[in-house]
Amino acid sequence: MSSPTENHHWTMIIDLDRCTGCQACVVACHVENNVTYVGEEEVAMGRFMHWLLIQRYWGGEYPNMQARFSPIPCQQCKEAPCEPVCPVYATYHSEQEMLNIQVYNRCIGVRFCANNCPYKVRVFNWFNPQNPEPLDQMLNPDVTVRSRGVIEKCTFCIHRIRRAEEDARYEGRPVRDGEVQPACVQACPPEAFVFGDRNDPESRVAKMAESRRGFRLLDDVGTVPEVVYLKRGVTDVEGI
């Protein structure tokens, strides 16, 4: 267990073998993080705001078709290409959480980070968010509502992380494994997501990150993502 004063190394495991593509994480993220909706025309233009997108890839040909889902949140790269290109430090790497932080207040909207993200997980507020009354009442007060002209992206629900750290500090104990759960992790019915602190060698993520199925997205680019994917498994039915 990591001590409360220590730095954390927050890691997300996404088990592609368990992901069913059901979009629970996507909607949970929307609600938790006040991510706005944009409507049909804007979605058609590719201006949807999902912080987490489940990408669906086809493979094979009928009748041996296959489809694969991969949920792509911000990969929280250790060597994030988005960070150095921002002229105003609106996105930077937090030393304490080892996360890629997006500071909406500081963002001036040059969108260089979004271009430079190989995963294209950064979304831009093309317009002000729409929240016709009383939809605005469901906005989460822990999370800023972003206005037009700024970039936003998955934060690993950093407000939840900070709250858990605060709780732990107040109670004089380390943050427990599983105490912090981003909204997507919490919602996922088949538990395709696991979240935790890799600095804690006993944590589930620390163990799962070593899995032989594990890989990182676009590993060759050298961004060193903190999201570890577990490859889809195969059951050897011939051997049964």
Partner 1 sequence: MSKESRSAPRPAEPDQALALEMRPGILSDQLLLDPRPVGDMNRYIMEAMQRTGKGFWILVAILASLVLIGYGGAWGYQVRWGMGVAGIRRPVFWGLYIANFVFWIGISHSGTFISAVLRVFKAEFRRPITRGSEMMTTFSLIVAGLFPLIHLGRTWRFYWMIPYFNQRQLWPNFHSPLMWDMMAIFTYLTGSTLYLYLPLIPDMAMARNITTGWRKRVYGTLALGWRGSESEWHHLKTAIKIFAFVIMPVMFSVHTIVSWDFGMTLVEGWHSTIFGPYFVTGAIFSGVSAVITVLLIVRKTMKLDYFLRPEHFDALGKLILVFSFAWTYFWFAEFITEWYGGEPVISALIHMQARGPVAVLWYTMLFFNIVVPWSTLWNRRIRRSTTAMLLITIGINIGMYLERYIIVATFLTKGRMPFNWGIYNPSIVELLISIGALSLFALLYVVASRLIPLVPVWEVQEGQLSHSLRPIGRALVPSVVDLE
Partner 2 sequence: MGKKISRRKFLKVGATAGATAALVAGCSSDLRPYRRSLEPPLRSPEEALPGEAVWYASTCGQCPSGCGIVVRVIEGRARKIEGNPEHPLNRGRLCARGQAGLQALYNPDRFPSPVRQSSRGSRDFQAVYWDDALDLLAGKLKEADPQSVAFLGGVMSDNLFDLASRFMKGTGAAPPVVFDLLSALEGRTTLAAASKALFGVPALPVFDVGQAEVVFSFGANFLETWLSPVYYGRSFGNMRRGRLRGRGYLVQFEPRMSMTAASADEWVPVKPGTEGLVAQAIGKIVAERRKAANVAGLYKDVVVGDVADASGVSAEQLGKLARIFDTVDHALAIPGGALAGRNNGLEATLAVQALNVVAGNLGQPGGLSLSPDVPSESLVTASVPASYADVQALIERMKAGQVQVLMVHGANPVFELPKASGFREALGQVPFVVSFAPFADETAVQADLVLPDHTYLESWGYRLVAAGGDRPVVSAQQPAVQPLYDTRSTAEVLLNLAQRLGGSAAKALPWKSVREHLQSAIGPLQALPGGNLHAASTDAFIEEWQSHGGWWTTQEKSGAPGASKEVLSSTLVVPNADFAGDAQKFPFHLLPYPSILLSDGRGANQPFLQEAPDPMTTVAWNNWVEINPKTAAKLKVTTGDIVKVTSPQGEIELSVYVYPGIRPDTVAIPVGQGHSDYGRFAQGRGSNVMDLLAPLTEKAGGALAWAATRVKITPTGRKATPMLARTESAEGVERGFRDAENPG
Partner 3 sequence: MAKDTVLMGLFNKADHTANTVEALEKMGIADDDVAILSGIPYPAEILGRPLVWERIPVIALSGAVIGFLIGIFLVAGTPQLYPVHVGGQGLLPIPPLAVITYELTMLGIIVSTFLGVLWESFFPSYGPKRYDRLVTEGHIGILLRCTPEQVSLVKEVLKENGGHHIHTPERRPL
- What are the residues binding partner 1 (CB under 8 A)? 42, 45-48, 53, 55-57, 72, 81, 83-89, 106-112, 114-116, 118-120, 123-128, 148-151, 218, 221, 223
DSSP-derived secondary structure for 153-177: ---SSHHHHHHHHHHHHHTTSPPPT
Q: How far is the CB of 4 from partner 2 (least distance, A)?
A: 9
Q: In the set 20, 45, 79, 108, which binds partner 3 (CB under 8 A)?
A: 79
Residue with smaller CB distance to partner 1, 87 or 239: 87
65 forms part of the interface with partner 2 (CB under 8 A): yes
Q: Residues in contact with partner 3, total (CB under 8 A)?
A: 14
Contacting range for partner 2; rule: CB under 8 A; set: 73-81, 85-93, 107-115, 164-172:
164-172
Residue with smaller CB distance to partner 2, 83 or 119: 119
Q: How many CA atoms lie within 13 A of 152 on its CB side?
A: 29
> Which parts of 209-228 interact with partner 3 (CB under 8 A)?
224
Q: How far is the CB of 142 from partner 3 (least distance, A)?
A: 24
Residue with smaller CB distance to partner 2, 55 or 115: 55
Q: Which H or E run includes 42?
A: helix 40-45
Question: Do strands 227-230 and 10-15 pair parallel, antiparallel, or not at all (unpaired)?
Answer: parallel
Gap between the Cα atoms of 44 and 21, Å rounded: 20
> Which parts of 83-102 interact with partner 3 (CB under 8 A)?
83-84, 86, 89, 91-93, 95
Q: Distance of CA 240 to CAs 18, 41, 66, 233, 235, Å?
A: 22, 50, 22, 16, 9
Closest Cα to residue 185, out of 10, 38, 47?
A: 10
Q: Is 211 exposed, middle or buried (0-12, 13-18, 19+ CB in 10 A)?
A: middle
- The contact set with partner 3 (CB under 8 A) reads 78-84, 86, 89, 91-93, 95, 224
